Structure 1
Amino acid sequence: MALATAIAKADTEGSDDRPPGRPLIRFGGSRLGGFILALNLLSLLILFGGALVLNEWRTGLVDARQESLMGQAELLARVLGDKDYTRGEPEPELDPTQSAKVLIDRFVPAGQRARIFDRDGVLIADSFDVSDTIEGAPLPPALPAGTPERETVDAVRLEAASTAANAALGEEIQAALAGTAQATVRRSESGDRVVSVSLPIRHVQQVLGVLTLEANDVDQILDAQRRALMPFALVALAVNLLASLLLHLFVARPVMRLSAAADEVKRGRARAISLPDLEDRRDEIGDLARSLESMTETLSTRMDGIERFAADVAHEIKNPLTSIRSALETLDLVKEKSQRDRLTALLQQDVRRLDRLITDISNASRLDAELSRDRPRPVDLAALLTDIVGVYDTMKRPGEAAVALDLAVEGPARVMGRDGPLGQVLRNLIDNARSFSPVGRGVRVSLRRDDSEGMLPLRIRVDDDGPGIPPENLETVFERFYTSRPPGAAFGSNSGLGLSIVRQIVAAHGGRVTATNRLDPTGKVEGARFEVALPSVGRRP
């Protein structure tokens, strides 16, 4: 008796069974969920890094700032080169007092610093010195009372930065004194990043000095942009985390449950997968759950069929074995030759029956594997029938039923399938019809095509003139090991598997096989008819 199909209600929570080689630490117990989270966070980190660095935007900002400073510096340099701001004849030089007046607040915007150097590179005017605005910096935190004064690390660092800044500024001034305008990005004495331009101050063609204009607001603008991006970055982070959580709940976790359910089936704790909450989903996960349930139900049904087949095989084999054992036990007790001959003939019949039974059982057990291995291809049924019937005509013995063929089709009748199994269908039907046909009568095989009969237009009929089939057994004849032979039929010549194999092969080709009785006008049974309906390749409209 087949086992009842169990339902696998699988979940991963609390399960200690883990396949080898998988890490124990996962996101919510899911390696796929961790992978999804890692990818989302990686893409987000790349976005954050790009937004925070702002290299391209910073480069554009620096270029725009240098261009703006260059325009202002050119205007101021032309003003400073005027005779009102120079002194001395015949070799003029910059007047420090008059030049300083140009650097007052209304000419130099807040956040910028302008300095004027003479032809020797000596500072003669600084906007920080003549401005009404007093630049300052926060005082350092107060030290506890009694703390000895000492030079701090910050003071040393500030002194080093000032030295480096003065050196960079000196190089810039020397290059400008040579007559070439300079635009650089460097550090100031306080260590801040500044955009600096230096232009030579000319009187006619003579270089009188250098005007340096600096702006240190680039970092502040970048910081402001970063701060403006932070709310969006936080929202993007929250969205990514939510997306990762939803993907884990609706993708990774259902896959884990399906995997756990499949493991339950593999271990034999269940016969089928059933997860109704997943199967009701109208997405790919639902499709996968329904496919797995259908697959496991099919496997369970096949296992039940194998169990029934094994039980039937054991029962069918036991009968001839029991007969053989009884005959062998009786053989030594029989003294008359006629009785011993009868027992010997009975033994031979049982051996033939057992041989036929084992052969058919072997063919039936290999059928599924053969059908799955062979690749379907177009098969011409008319040519296949002609070849098979020709073999029967060639090998016909006296007293055997003749086989007649009627091809009521025009052109090829093709079906997508396997010629070997289809040939076995035809041979089994013809052999079955011949075994029931009376002496002197024949078997008629016909092939016709009717495109009005739906998806199965090709029809193969095998008619015999035997006693027919009892109406209650028209479906039973296709069951395994069913046999009902007419009186006088050779014992053991049929195993009862032939028609079962026929139905299995026809179903694998997308067709159907039926059994009916042929009746005369008075309603009397004239014989049996088996009809195979198959789909057609290149069906005509």
Structure 2
Amino acid sequence: MGSVKDQDREPKDRPARRLTWPQFSWPKFSWPRGSRLGRLIIGLNVLALAILLGGALVLNELRSGLIKARIDSLTTQGELIANVIDLAATVGDPEPKLEADRASDILQGLFIPRSQRARLFDAQGAQLADSYVVADRVESRELPPARKPGQPDFGLPTRDPDAKPKAVEAAREALAAEIAQARLGEPVAGTRRAENGERVVSVSIPIQHVRAVLGVLTLEAGDVDQIISAERKALLPFALIAVATTLISSFLLNRLIAQPVLRMARAADHVRLEGARAISLPDISGRNDELGDLSRALEEMTDSMSERMDAIERFAADVAHEIKNPLTSIRSAIETLDLVSDPAARARLLGILQQDVSRLDRLVTDISNASRLDAELSREAPRPFELNLLLHEVINLYDAQWRPGEAPGSVRVTFDEKMAPQHARVMARETPMGQVFRNLVDNARSFSAADGEVRVALVRDHGRLIVTVDDDGPGIPKENLETIFERFYTSRPKGKAFGGNSGLGLSIARQIVEAHGGAMRAENRQNDAGQVVGARFRVELPEAGNHHHGHHPGGARE
């Protein structure tokens, strides 16, 4: 069977494209709800940070507890020593005073650990005794390594010759301030720098007789740096765990993300550079994350590209075959034309030439329409529209062209208003869908007798809209119900001129329908006696709201 050729369409003028600079926009930060890899990356990084912060907080509490415990210990010890000195080294009544020699002997007789230093001051803040002097202790520190002449002193703490005197003066001022506060009658405790630069825990206890402050006892413990060093050592496992977690997460992310992405990039380069039809991807398509989705998408994309290339090759071969026939006929007619002198024979040859040129022009036009079909489908975005209104417009076009007489112009096209549902909306491209129904109606008219009728109907069935186009022609051979959708397939009705159809109309129609997630098939209409009384083309489209895109190459009935 055959169909009338598709209508020629002139290319539309395209407006000039304007070059614009890309506009910068701040990225939107949100929790990756549907992203497994995003949650994995954030979770691993937060875990390492949480371990480090947790360790720091725990050790900060530990250090505070250790220093507080050291202060409590020194306070208890200092109050004991202050009470002993008050009882044994104060004389005078009603105005008591502190005996410096007696208090020094008491301080010497008491046990002072080597890590501690006890100093006694009178009521005016003058030093009376020092446990280091009483015990004949000498402060010592390890000297820095000797350096050669001209060698920079990287090992020395500072180049400033006044740095040590300044530090000593600051330490003495801090001690004087602490003593002055203790002379007011309240114990003072805290941490400060000693004259040798070490950090010490210091407690100053006022020596009181009744309410009179006779002196101040200061106890210093120089093991604060050891406490901090122990704290740092305790923090080291947390830091090592955090570093190990970060390294493990980095290697894990490298293995799970970077390496598969790199292999997919190399596979894509292989396809691009060597023209391969298939892509050899790493075996990650079974992963239930974004990379698995990407791998499956790339595989489907390359499979689709391979199918498209095969279809293009077949299309090119079909085009070459179809164009070769009229060219051969034209060449044969031209060669014969010079040998024929009979005017009637020459007229017949010229008629053949004209017919073949018209057929060639029709082929080129239809081939051009078919070849740019994909570009046209991608250029126009789908939108919802009323399918029944589109069918009315198509049928009104044929009503305006209807003239009684010779088919197909005398074949009337009607629309069943009673069966058509109201508000039958589809999500599709209106212009290509109009071409679908024009091709179907043209095909039905070409098989109808003069003054015949082509009936178009629209019904709704379980969320899908079904359009049927019926004719009263001879029907379709059973073995050709699918063949008619192949490109360039033409079965001409009896009496039709050769070359009046290109064989692309139904192929284009099915391709457009399937690109919109629909389906098209052909069937024969039969009467009660089982006799074929015509052909029916059935187009199924998802109703708006139930639409999903799909694209499958089709063929043609003509």
- In structure 1, C-alpha distance between the alignment counterparts of 2:341 and 2:521, rounded to whole Å: 51
Cα deviation, residue 59, structure 1: 7.7
Paired residue for 1:124? 128
Task: Report whether the alignment pairs 1:374 with 2:380.
Answer: yes
Structure 2 residue identity aligned to 1:402: R
Flag the 1:469–1:226 CA change in 2: closer, same or farther, 3 A.
same
Flag the 1:157–1:320 CA change in 2: closer, same or farther, 3 A.
closer
- In structure 1, C-alpha distance between the alignment counterparts of 2:62 and 2:121, rounded to whole Å: 30
Structure 2 residue identity aligned to 1:465: D
Paired residue for 1:502? 509
Structure 1, gaps ≥5 residues long? 1-35, 144-151
Structure 2 residue identity aligned to 1:126: D
Cα deviation, residue 125, structure 1: 2.1
Determine helix, strand or coil for the equivalent of 2:230.
helix
Determine helix, strand or coil for the equivalent of 1:533.
strand
Flag the 1:105–1:486 CA change in 2: closer, same or farther, 3 A.
farther
Flag the 1:88–1:479 CA change in 2: closer, same or farther, 3 A.
same
Paired residue for 2:414? 404
Flag the 1:130–1:460 CA change in 2: closer, same or farther, 3 A.
same
Partner of residue 319 from structure 2, selected from 310, 313, 321 = 313
Structure 2 residue identity aligned to 1:501: I
Partner of residue 277 from structure 1, selected from 283, 286, 311 = 283
Cα deviation, residue 418, structure 1: 1.4
Cα deviation, residue 48, structure 1: 6.0
Flag the 1:360–1:450 CA change in 2: closer, same or farther, 3 A.
same
Flag the 1:409–1:102 CA change in 2: closer, same or farther, 3 A.
farther
Paired residue for 1:113? 117
Flag the 1:360–1:106 CA change in 2: closer, same or farther, 3 A.
farther
Flag the 1:287–1:139 CA change in 2: closer, same or farther, 3 A.
closer
- In structure 2, C-alpha distance between the alignment counterparts of 1:509 and 1:214, rounded to whole Å: 87
Task: Report whether the alignment pairs 1:215 with 2:221.
Answer: yes
Determine helix, strand or coil for the equivalent of 1:439.
coil
TM-score, normalised to structure 1, is 0.78
Paired residue for 1:415? 426
Partner of residue 75 from structure 1, selected from 69, 79, 84 = 79
Cα deviation, residue 263, structure 1: 1.0
Paired residue for 1:87? 91
Paired residue for 2:254? 248
Flag the 1:105–1:534 CA change in 2: closer, same or farther, 3 A.
farther
Flag the 1:101–1:409 CA change in 2: closer, same or farther, 3 A.
farther
- In structure 2, C-alpha distance between the alignment counterparts of 1:174 and 1:390, rounded to whole Å: 106
TM-score, normalised to structure 2, is 0.75
Residues 69 and 213, structure 1, Cα contact 8 Å, conserved in 2: no
Determine helix, strand or coil for the equivalent of 1:445.
strand
Task: Report whether the alignment pairs 1:487 with 2:498.
Answer: no
Structure 2 residue identity aligned to 1:325: R
CA-atom RMSD in angstroms: 4.1
Paired residue for 1:169? 172
Cα deviation, residue 428, structure 1: 0.3
- In structure 2, C-alpha distance between the alignment counterparts of 1:189 and 1:326, rounded to whole Å: 119
Task: Report whether the alignment pairs 1:523 with 2:530.
Answer: yes
Cα deviation, residue 121, structure 1: 4.0
Determine helix, strand or coil for the equivalent of 1:322.
helix
Determine helix, strand or coil for the equivalent of 1:272.
coil
Cα deviation, residue 137, structure 1: 6.9
Paired residue for 2:471? 464
Deviations 1:113-148 (A, max 9, x none): 2211224544322334567x989879989x9xxxxx
Deviates more, 1:208-217 or 1:307-316: 208-217
Deviates more, 1:377-386 or 1:230-239: 230-239
Deviations 1:500-531 (A, max 9, x none): 01110111111111111222333332221111
Task: Report whether the alignment pairs 1:351 with 2:357.
Answer: yes
Residues 44 and 245, structure 2, Cα contact 8 Å, conserved in 1: no
Deviations 1:281-322 (A, max 9, x none): 444333322221111101110111111111211221222223
Residues 119 and 130, structure 2, Cα contact 8 Å, conserved in 1: yes
Determine helix, strand or coil for the equivalent of 2:414.
strand
Deviations 1:82-133 (A, max 9, x none): 46432357764321233236646868667332211224544322334567x9
Determine helix, strand or coil for the equivalent of 2:416.
strand
Residues 77 and 199, structure 1, Cα contact 8 Å, conserved in 2: no
Structure 2 residue identity aligned to 1:446: A
Cα deviation, residue 274, structure 1: 3.5
Cα deviation, residue 389, structure 1: 0.5
Cα deviation, residue 484, structure 1: 0.8
Residues 78 and 203, structure 2, Cα contact 8 Å, conserved in 1: no
The correspondence of residues 27-66 of structure 1 with structure 2, limited to 5 A, is 60=64, 64=68
Cα deviation, residue 276, structure 1: 6.5
Flag the 1:383–1:105 CA change in 2: closer, same or farther, 3 A.
farther
- In structure 2, C-alpha distance between the alignment counterparts of 1:208 and 1:333, rounded to whole Å: 148
Paired residue for 1:10? none
Structure 2, gaps ≥5 residues long? 1-39, 147-154, 547-558
User: Which is bigger in relative contact order (C-alpha 8 A, separation at least 6)?
Assistant: 2
- In structure 2, C-alpha distance between the alignment counterparts of 1:55 and 1:165, rounded to whole Å: 30
Flag the 1:502–1:212 CA change in 2: closer, same or farther, 3 A.
same
Paired residue for 2:550? none
Task: Report whether the alignment pairs 1:448 with 2:452.
Answer: no
Equivalenced residues, count: 489
Flag the 1:226–1:257 CA change in 2: closer, same or farther, 3 A.
same
Residues 66 and 183, structure 1, Cα contact 8 Å, conserved in 2: no
Partner of residue 537 from structure 1, selected from 544, 547, 554 = 544
Cα deviation, residue 359, structure 1: 1.7
Residues 506 and 513, structure 1, Cα contact 8 Å, conserved in 2: yes
Q: Among all aligned residue pairs of Structure 1 and Structure 2, give the percentage whose two residues are the same amino acid.
A: 52
Flag the 1:170–1:95 CA change in 2: closer, same or farther, 3 A.
farther
- In structure 1, C-alpha distance between the alignment counterparts of 2:282 and 2:162, rounded to whole Å: 75
Partner of residue 520 from structure 2, selected from 513, 516, 524 = 513
Paired residue for 2:11? none
Cα deviation, residue 481, structure 1: 0.7
Cα deviation, residue 174, structure 1: 5.8
- In structure 1, C-alpha distance between the alignment counterparts of 2:289 and 2:143, rounded to whole Å: 64
Residues 49 and 242, structure 2, Cα contact 8 Å, conserved in 1: no
